[in-house]
Structure 1
Amino acid sequence: MLLLWLLLLLPLLAMLWQQRPSWLILLQHQVAWRALAWVAAWQQRKLEQSTLRVGQSQLQALMWCLKRAQSPCCLPRGITDMSTFRNRLPLTKTSQVQEEESEEQLPPSASAQFHGEASLQATVLGLVTLNKAYPEVFSPGSTACVTPTSPWPSSVPWLGHALGRVSPIGAKDTRTLLLEALMSPGLRALEARTAVELLDVFVGLEAVGKELTEAVAAGNLGTPLPSRAAQLQEAMEQGPRGVMALNLWPEQPQGSYLLLPGVPFIELLPIKEGTQEEAASTLLLTDVQREEEYELVLTDHASLTRCRLGDVVQVVGAYNQCPVVRFTRRLGQTLSVRGEVTYENIFSAALAQAVGQWPGAKLLDYACVESSILDSCDGSAPHYEVFMELKGLRNLSEENRDKLDHCLQEVSPHYKSLRLRGSVGPVKVHLVGPGSFRVLREALAACPSSSSPPEMPRVLRLSHLAQLLQKRMIS
């Protein structure tokens, strides 16, 4: 009988919870933050201990991965120290790992890459750090989840409700979640599972912003809110602002990240300046030098592979004994049509400089192609082609298009010398229509060997992907 009464009372309790007074919401929010602060203090102490004893912490992380390997049959016997580990397990690249996982039908390593405790530490310390730098982001009703999958780890599922997230967690489409979020006048931050998904949300918001504000004004999800629609329209005209990445120093203009000595096990492969040659051996966190560049190498317990990620970091500081790094570029995202090497960060700097000289233009996304991929030389010298999506400009004069080539010559002496000799032709600039890079990401996700979410390349190596953008050219 008692169970029957409880079942009858559940709808009433749910209604009362939805209509709880503002003072109860504030109380719940304060209690959640006090609990979060306690957990954060505990995790901060653990962080201090692990970063002060980096060598011991890294050895413990390696032993944890070896003991919990999901493929023990492939595990070489007798690995008890770092030297044996390096000798018995060769370095592999991300593409090789993805191919092996596809053939063996193993779960992707990225899904099991982070141990639950490390995920909890990163989440809690990240939230507290972000709250110190931008306290308005975590006021009640200021944050909204805009992708169907919650980014919160399973170990702290209550935080989304307790901290006053606008959008409820559920299997809704992204557009509905975004529309619900935009209806809240206290909105300060949008939250997604991955940075790529969040980028798609912002790009889509700029592309269909007018449609969404009209839906808010018309009350497609409830009460018409014409004043809120006007606020949204004004904000969209100013363009997007805010934090797009999370680290322990979010107030700094350039993102800096602390490399932790836990799981996954991290090694750093030195980058030889001006060459694509591989270094002889990897280094541990305590062995790196400030201002030097390294490629990240990760080992996790899912596939037990020493995987070269292709991400290049520069050491910019230290936190206790652990390096603080800044991501600079990705190996493999380089342009070369005459043996030169134009890195991703060099081309991006030139492009940003050129866009700054185009009145009213704002760069949303871009991708590069070597002319041989599209067979577009037509008897001319090999060259770079760039497809870009702009806001505020739908056409470019030839004079403005040439500015990108001039900017690239300024930042790359080697490229300039090839241009002066005529060995390389000028960069060709193409504008593509709204949503083109969302379509490109969908095409990347459909590839069998693609990671999840797919990594967005700056240099396209496959002709069908380049042709996809070529078909969406508007200028």
Structure 2
Amino acid sequence: MLLLLLPLLLLLLLPLAVLWRQRAPGPGPSWLASLQHRVACGALCWAAAWQQWRLEQSTLHAGLRQQQALSRCLKRARGPPSPLTGSTDMTTFRNHLPLTEASQAPEEESGEQLLPPASKQHPGEASLQATLLGLAALNQAYPAALARGSTACVTPTSPWPHPLPWPWRALRRAGPPGAKDPRALLLEALRSPGLRALEAGTAAELLDVLSGLEADGEELAEALAAGNPGAPLPARAAELREALEQGPRGLALRLWPELQVVVTLDAGGQGEAVAALEALWCHGLAFFSPAYAASGGVVGLSLWPEQPAGLYLLPPGAPVTELLPVPAGGQEGAATTVLLAEAQQGQEYELVVTDQASLTRCRLGDVVRVAGAYNQCPVVRFIGRRGQALSVRGEDIGEDVFSEALGRAVGQWPGAKLLDHVCVESSILDSSGGSAAPHYEVFVALRGVRNLSEENRDKLDRCLQEASPGYKSLRFRGSVGPARVHLVGPGAFGALREALAASPAAPFPPEMPRVLRHRRLARLLQGRVMS
């Protein structure tokens, strides 16, 4: 009965809340805030239950749901009539629409975009479902995280794919009005020692914030003590100084002793930042991502906060999603795509989505491995991106292979902890002047190391040879030179992310590249090399 009355209660409270905000722009009385929060929690339960029922029905009949999504896609497609008009047969659809690659500009000097355009595939439907189900899953696993005043977001972007409509805004912690500065958001969070959940747009953004917290700790402590902004908090400033003196490991729990979970939105290239945060600043905390976003759109739902991170359900519906089998050895083939219900456990696939605006079947480049099933839909792990493979002589070292080799090499560098890295093929920087064999230029950000010896640099090349027989063969013949490793200073990767986000075509969340193919971005890091 309560679930049936909730929508009516929301309709009655909405005019009251709007009227109160118009008359009193400042914070409302505690009883009204408490009432709004209770209504928001009840509404979340009702809306999440409805979304869960819809998800259950669609995943039980994944093939039918994808056929319906295809039919809607064809009806809404703009442009002249196609041979598919009036047909919703999947085989005809695939035969008439060949696969296309996500567009990428060859060089930024041409004036073209640096990144593929953000996907506009039904952003409201998929992202709202991910947000509501993600909030419900978070509430079930960590009930205190949604209590009043228990959550703070320390980045201008939110990890929740869809902006929360009324009344669910009452579940979020209110930050400084109109704040877009991470420093102001961090100060607001520091004023509240009782936080249970810490949010950031992505793990890489949180890494930048917490690194900046260490670098600017004294300034932040002075601002807290002086009450800039808000009331002076000298005791809290002293706690901040004391927490920073003990180093980065476990810093978040020292600042917020009741903290339980860190919420970020997952996207390509975020795994390294998560690993660094788990090992240092956020040691001892759980991580949760409500969804996986690729090329600006939600493609995977996370429903299991209590499970190991990185498992996502590929839901049926819009956009039409297909899976292209990845051949053994990574060789390109003429394989045919399969639908979600046809995915095989243990198999690797590349995601293909249909853009309804131009009616094109686009290969996103994101590669997944099927780890299980939820009804008729696959549960996957994202393992890499085709566009982030290295190849100066056709060796084709994938993103996951290179990252694993780099991780093994860093593990052999005493005291080092990897924070970030990117690779550049030598032809981009032309560092050899054309006289040496092509090779990789690797830029790394490390914790605990200020200098890299030549012996340690060589360990990466040896690990790469162990990981890739093709690379080892080319190195043996001298066709490829040894990888060159450069240690960059603090803030270098933060500056790179700012440059990437400044692109008009940058999607959200911004996928962290592991291979740079644009000279200006590569030189940005080259100018910050310290060893």
TM-score (norm 1): 0.85
Residues 423 and 384 (structure 1 numbering): CA distance in 2 closer, same or farther, change over 3 Å? same
Partner of 1:272: 327
2:425 corresponds in structure 1 to 370
Q: Structure 1, residues 90-145: CA drift from partner, whole Å, max 9, x if none?
A: 2222216999xxx9x9xx97463235333322111111112233334323212123
Aligned mate of 1:138, from 135, 146, 149: 146
> Does 1:323 find its partner at 2:332?
no
The aligned residue for residue 512 of structure 2 is 456
SS of 2:103's equivalent? helix
Question: CA separation of 1:34/1:191 partners in 2, compared to 1, >3 Å: closer, same or farther?
Answer: same
Pairing partner for 1:237 from 234, 248, 269: 248
2:527 equivalent to 1:471: yes
Match of 1:38 in 2: 46
Distance 1:366 1:31, change over 3 A: same
1:454–1:44 Cα change, 3 Å: closer
Distance in structure 2 (CA, Å) of the matches to 1:97 and 1:66 = 29
1:118-129 map, 5 Å = 118-129=126-137
1:225 is aligned to: 233
Go from structure 1 to structure 2 and tell me whether the alpha carbon gap of 1:253 and 1:8 turns closer, same or farther (over 3 Å shift).
Answer: closer
Task: Give the superposition deviation at 1:194.
Answer: 5.5
Does 388-397 or 142-151 show the bigger shift?
Answer: 142-151
Q: Give the root-mean-square deviation of aligned CA atoms.
A: 3.4
Query: Which residue identity lines up with residue 285 of structure 1 in the other structure?
Result: L
The correspondence for 1:433, drawn from 479, 484, 489, is 489
Query: Within 2, Cα distance between the matches of 1:9 and 1:452?
Result: 34
1:256 matched to 2:307: no
How many angstroms apart in 1 are the aligned matches of 2:334 and 2:238?
A: 57
* Contact map agreement 2:445 2:490 (CA 8 A) in 1: yes
Alignment correspondent of 1:20: 30
User: How far apart are the structure 2 equivalents of 1:47 and 1:9?
Assistant: 36
Could you say which residue in structure 2 is the equivalent of 1:83?
Answer: 91
Q: Say if 2:339 is the partner of 1:284.
A: yes
SS at match of 1:243: strand
Deviation at 1:438, TM superposition (A): 2.5
- Residues 1:153 and 2:197 aligned together: no
Amino acid at match of 1:73: P
Q: Is 28-37 or 90-99 further displaced after alignment?
A: 90-99
Residues 109 and 398 (structure 1), Cα distance of their counterparts in 2 relative to 1, 3 Å cut: closer
Q: What does residue 398 of structure 2 align with?
A: 343
3-state DSSP of counterpart to 2:418: strand
Separation (CA, whole Å) in 1 of partners of 2:462 and 2:238: 41
Q: What CA distance in whole angstroms lies between the structure 2 residues aligned with 1:205 and 1:312?
A: 35
Tell me what 1:3 maps to.
Answer: none
Check whether the contact 2:100–2:360 (CA below 8 A) recurs between aligned residues.
yes
**Could you list the runs of 5+ residues in structure 2 that have no partner in the other structure?**
1-17, 250-279, 291-301
CA contact (8 A) 2:314 2:377 kept: yes
Closer/same/farther in 2, CA of residues 261 and 229 from structure 1, 3 Å limit: same
**The residue matched to 2:391 in structure 1 has which SS?**
coil
Task: Describe the superposition over 1:64-85 as per-residue Cα deviations: whole angstroms up to 9, x where unpaired.
Answer: 222223x243655333221222
Rounded Cα–Cα distance in structure 2 between residues aligned with 1:267 and 1:244: 26
Q: CA deviation at 1:210?
A: 4.5
Find out whether 1:211 has 2:219 as its counterpart.
yes
Cα distance change on mapping 1:188 and 1:396 into 2, 3 Å: farther
8 Å Cα contact 1:148-1:174 kept in structure 2: yes
Match of 2:264 in 1: none
Name the CA distance, whole Å, in 2 between partners of 1:172 and 1:136.
Answer: 26
Q: What amino acid does structure 2 have at the position aligned with 1:437? A: F
Conserved 8 A contact 2:371-2:379: yes
CA distance in 2, matches of 1:254, 1:8: 42
Structure 1 runs (4+) greater than 6 angstroms displaced: 7-12, 96-99
Q: Distance in 2 between matches of 1:153 and 1:435?
A: 30
Distance 1:170 1:115, change over 3 A: same
Residues 68/11 of structure 1: CA separation in 2 closer, same or farther (3 Å cut): closer
1:285-434 matched pairs, under 5 angstroms: 285-377=340-432, 379-434=435-490
Provide the rounded CA distance (Å) in 2 between the counterparts of 1:364 and 1:190.
Answer: 20
Q: Is the 8 A contact 2:67 2:88 kept in 1?
A: no
Deviation at 1:402, TM superposition (A): 2.5
8 Å Cα contact 1:263/1:300 also seen in 2: no
The Cα offsets for residues 426-461 of structure 1, whole Å up to 9 and x where unpaired, read as 321111122222222333345566545543321112
Point out where structure 1 has 5 or more consecutive residues left out of the alignment: 1-6
* 1:116 alignment counterpart: 124
Q: What residue is the counterpart of 2:80 in the other structure?
A: 73
- Letter of the structure 1 residue corresponding to residue 168 of structure 2: L
Distance in 2 of aligned mates of 1:367 and 1:431: 11
Distance 1:217 1:354 in 2: 44
Cα deviation 1:322-376 (Å, max 9, x = unaligned)? 0011001100211123321211111111222222333433322110012222223
Give me the TM-score of the superposition, normalised by structure 2. Answer: 0.77
Alpha-carbon distance in structure 1 between the residues aligned to 2:499 and 2:365? 22
Q: How many residues align?
A: 460
| SS at structure 2 position matched to 1:73 | coil
Q: Decide which of 429, 443, 459 is 2:499's aligned counterpart.
A: 443
Match of 2:69 in 1: 61
After superposition, the Cα gap between the structure-2 partners of 1:400 and 1:311, relative to the gap in structure 1 and judged at 3 Å, is: same
1:406-437 CA distances to partner (integer Å, 9 max, x unpaired)? 33333333333444444433321111122222
> Contact 1:146–1:167 (CA<8 Å) still a contact in 2?
no
The corresponding residue for 1:4 is none
For 2:453, the aligned partner's letter is S
Q: Percent identity?
A: 64
Q: Give the 3 Å change call, closer, same or farther, for CA 203–270 of structure 1 in structure 2.
A: farther
Q: Quote the Cα distance in structure 1 between the aligned partners of 2:19 and 2:351.
A: 57
